[in-house]
Structure 1
């Protein structure tokens, strides 16, 4: 992290810039903050790159790839620039931690216990990436952050959908020399096995301080390095004997001979929650602590002098939902700019016949818990608890952080005119740590119209509005179709109440206009 330079803009996209984090092939990376004080890594795009004819499509694809991968080992997309912006940019969560490349260059290779733990954690990340249908294609030491709680795999800038070969150019080397697979080095289409190869190459670096195709301190021209990757055997001296067979298998020249990500994880074993803290060197924890303290100082120094507008009381927007079909009220706090943020499930748009009929169906979530066993949850028109009865907690409890999902039946029997005929209604809600006023989550719905196959789901960013005992209130401050090529509009300003009656399980009930066919239960993903 370094200070801003003369000529750097004070803000980009409405986010105040605090420091420089680095630069890469796509552009510069800044530390930024939201109005409520949440830190972001904001990556800008080089002007020359943004002028390329197909760049807008590739940039949108990068964002969508990032947004599909949601797990404990990756960072979430928070916001991005609208079309035509200059510069174009992408904002993600910020992790105050050194990269594996920075750490090893300063302190040397990892000891065997930390190396094993890194292998377990990254293999678990890779399984999640593969399950999301994404190939990272640029796993390298600079894209692995050594966080205090776990490592993170970042920067899906050249990721492509596994089953979308239209966007892969043969004859083009995609990736970072020294860590890319032979098929990438020759410009062939690279799929999931390429990530397994790169993961093994990163582990060799973590164990030895060098790429498996370079000697210590050696520098080669790009053609010479690519030749080695394609034709020479990797240099594995320095890799612990306990990891050597697996690493050698992952570095096979033939993609078909490499183990899958799932097989790698099975051979390494599952990582226990406290393994990372026990295995990493104390100096790493000191370093992350120093970075987090510096981050807190920067955020505090950049705190605006005027207090943020407090969240609106629950009563007014809740009563506004009493009449089904009534458009949702505007957000009670200033809406977060454009409404371009990836988020989570909810709204449903449909098109019937030649007339475009947008059916906006809102999903409000409340868990039935407490009270009399047969008592129903209060309706949207019921009077909510007074502010005096509500908790003054300002941070989302740790038990809420994670990814929750469920699948409903959809509406296959609908008439297709007043209500879309859809298949299964899949909902995913991801919640991150944060305080009231922060955008802490994303809600994504996926459901296909049976007659056309279109995805009618919407994706929303969730702002934490209120915490009351075991219930939490969220407002959807941005909303867009989950399928970004869709032409319908998703409503904004929806209000959600979630209540946790038992760990790892949320039961959903509609308030106001109901999303027919939505799941009635969300469970935590592990």
Structure 2
């Protein structure tokens, strides 16, 4: 087993794979809402292998396409900007990619390890190294979009920025987590929080200013919560730079320009690099003693690459050769004495575990799953569709009916009768629901079905017919699903909640509920050919979008489709195509999507 001391990795857990693609794994470097990062060995070097979570990738083909595009962008980045991309498989389920292992620690870890704010000299070095990486990226018209302390890696010879490009793919897909719009709220720029302007290199410069303020105080300059409060302060209030001002007034002034509300008022990454370079030279050790000691351990581990001993499963379809069984000894009769014939003694073949020793190795099951197609429980059908019914014989010992006895329409054919009597088989055929006589209830074409006895017993709606065949089984004909309601009329509406009377509003990059007279409560319906639609806020021009079932609902760029597509439910709900959840009022602020249950809090009436 590979010795992990000094690596920063934890031992693999029972549900972790032992190999991803061709790369054997030795430990787990980290985990988050998007995926897990493992320590592996490839071509005589340590690598960091990031595997996305299959539970959140699902079958989102659009995400896989965008993820592949971002991997292409990552491959374009120069070596000095970030860790190089070494291998990937965008078609795997789940997808993964591997970069060079960085023998360092995150800025968040460094501040904790140091026990407080970093000294001014280290802050200028942090600015210089980060600006150098961003300047190379911005020169290629690319943007990081999620610069934060956990994406800044300090090393013994400088600094490395990680997770370029992947943040964009995550933002545009169902992988976006609650509290994330196009990055982490505490480090977002005003244009990200409001969704009113496009993003550029100035967006990263604002985030870098917030990262420096964090390194100088242990707190981001606008607060570290993920709710609407921090977004409001980012857009409207001034940052708290007092701790940084006490350390270095010149640096505090420069960081203040990075945190300007207007992107045009911020310096470029190249200008920051030039300004910070004047504070050099920066001699080793570059970082405070406690941080440098940990970095020395990481560097020593990376310099001594060990082999990972991972068992390999036999190829599918191959069978082990059985052990040869010795031939039985011949039976020899003794002279003058008639002996009964002796049956040859049977030799037992050895148990299967001896032939398949790999089965006994821990983690073999997980390793096998790694190479099998991902499967899951059957997906629920569309909202409003009836569940499939299954008939079972009343007598558990009775044999199951063969599937071939069903006709093309799903009803039993005459030959399905156990007695062979076609009339008896016909009597077991489910009858169509009887018409109630009310408006809109038209009996199905065909012969008169006669009276049908339903469970409801009333005449106000369609009934369900039930009959019993000779086998004692019961077959139930479910009523046809109700047609999907039409989308709301085109135009601009306010959407009033059936529980508290509030309307859907927008608070910067998030949705909320409040007074229907609020200026952000007006939403324009942008219809689509299949009856679905987008809801565009009249004030900001951004679209209401869901992050998936059980997640918060935000407002963002209408150019994307993921999460932006809504449909009306038969109960007046607004249902998202992403996860099938209904727009709902959570216990806390904002809005989310939850399982559709016909509750008043899920009913939204256009007014």
Q: What is the alpha-carbon distance in structure 1 between the residues aligned to residue 252 and residue 77 of structure 2?
A: 29
Which residue number corresponds to residue 72 of structure 1?
80
Which residue number corresponds to residue 182 of structure 1?
190
| Aligned CA distance change for structure 1 residues 31 and 271 (closer, same or farther; 3 Å) | farther
Is the contact between residue 131 and residue 269 of structure 2 (CA under 8 Å) also seen in structure 1? yes
TM-score, normalisation: structure 2: 0.45
Q: Shift of residue 105 of structure 1?
A: 2.2
Give yes or no for the alignment of 1:265 onto 2:270. no
Which residue number corresponds to residue 289 of structure 2?
282
Gaps of 5+ in 2: 1-8, 312-607
Is the contact between residue 149 and residue 276 of structure 1 (CA under 8 Å) also seen in structure 2? no
Give yes or no for the alignment of 1:210 onto 2:219. yes
TM-score, normalisation: structure 1: 0.52
- The match for 1:146 among 146, 151, 154 is 154
Q: What is the alpha-carbon distance in structure 2 between the residues aligned to residue 278 and residue 288 of structure 1?
A: 10
Q: What is the alpha-carbon distance in structure 1 between the residues aligned to residue 227 and residue 166 of structure 2?
A: 19
Q: Shift of residue 223 of structure 1?
A: 1.3
Q: Shift of residue 133 of structure 1?
A: 1.9
- The match for 1:233 among 217, 222, 238 is 238
Is the contact between residue 26 and residue 39 of structure 2 (CA under 8 Å) also seen in structure 1? yes
| Aligned CA distance change for structure 1 residues 141 and 224 (closer, same or farther; 3 Å) | same
Give yes or no for the alignment of 1:104 onto 2:108. no
| Aligned CA distance change for structure 1 residues 178 and 245 (closer, same or farther; 3 Å) | same
Higher gyration radius (CA): 2
Q: What is the alpha-carbon distance in structure 2 between the residues aligned to residue 206 and residue 81 of structure 1?
A: 36
Q: What is the alpha-carbon distance in structure 1 between the residues aligned to residue 263 and residue 308 of structure 2?
A: 49
Which residue number corresponds to residue 424 of structure 2?
none
Which residue number corresponds to residue 40 of structure 1?
47
Gaps of 5+ in 1: 306-526
- The match for 1:49 among 50, 56, 59 is 56
| Aligned CA distance change for structure 1 residues 182 and 96 (closer, same or farther; 3 Å) | same
Give yes or no for the alignment of 1:192 onto 2:201. yes
Aligned 1:330-369 pairs, distance under 5 A: none
Is the contact between residue 150 and residue 276 of structure 1 (CA under 8 Å) also seen in structure 2? no
Is the contact between residue 178 and residue 213 of structure 1 (CA under 8 Å) also seen in structure 2? yes
- What RMSD, in angstroms, separates the aligned Cα atoms of the two structures? 2.7
Aligned 1:304-343 pairs, distance under 5 A: none
Q: Shift of residue 302 of structure 1?
A: 2.0
| Aligned CA distance change for structure 1 residues 293 and 279 (closer, same or farther; 3 Å) | closer
Is the contact between residue 81 and residue 137 of structure 2 (CA under 8 Å) also seen in structure 1? no
Residue 136 of structure 2 aligns to a residue whose secondary structure is: helix
Q: What is the alpha-carbon distance in structure 1 between the residues aligned to residue 278 and residue 267 of structure 2?
A: 17
Residue 209 of structure 2 aligns to a residue whose secondary structure is: helix
Residue 127 of structure 1 aligns to a residue whose secondary structure is: helix
Q: Shift of residue 262 of structure 1?
A: 1.9
Is the contact between residue 173 and residue 187 of structure 1 (CA under 8 Å) also seen in structure 2? no
- The match for 1:293 among 295, 300, 305 is 300
> More relative contact order in 1 or in 2 (CA 8 Å, sep 6+)?
1
| Aligned CA distance change for structure 1 residues 91 and 259 (closer, same or farther; 3 Å) | same
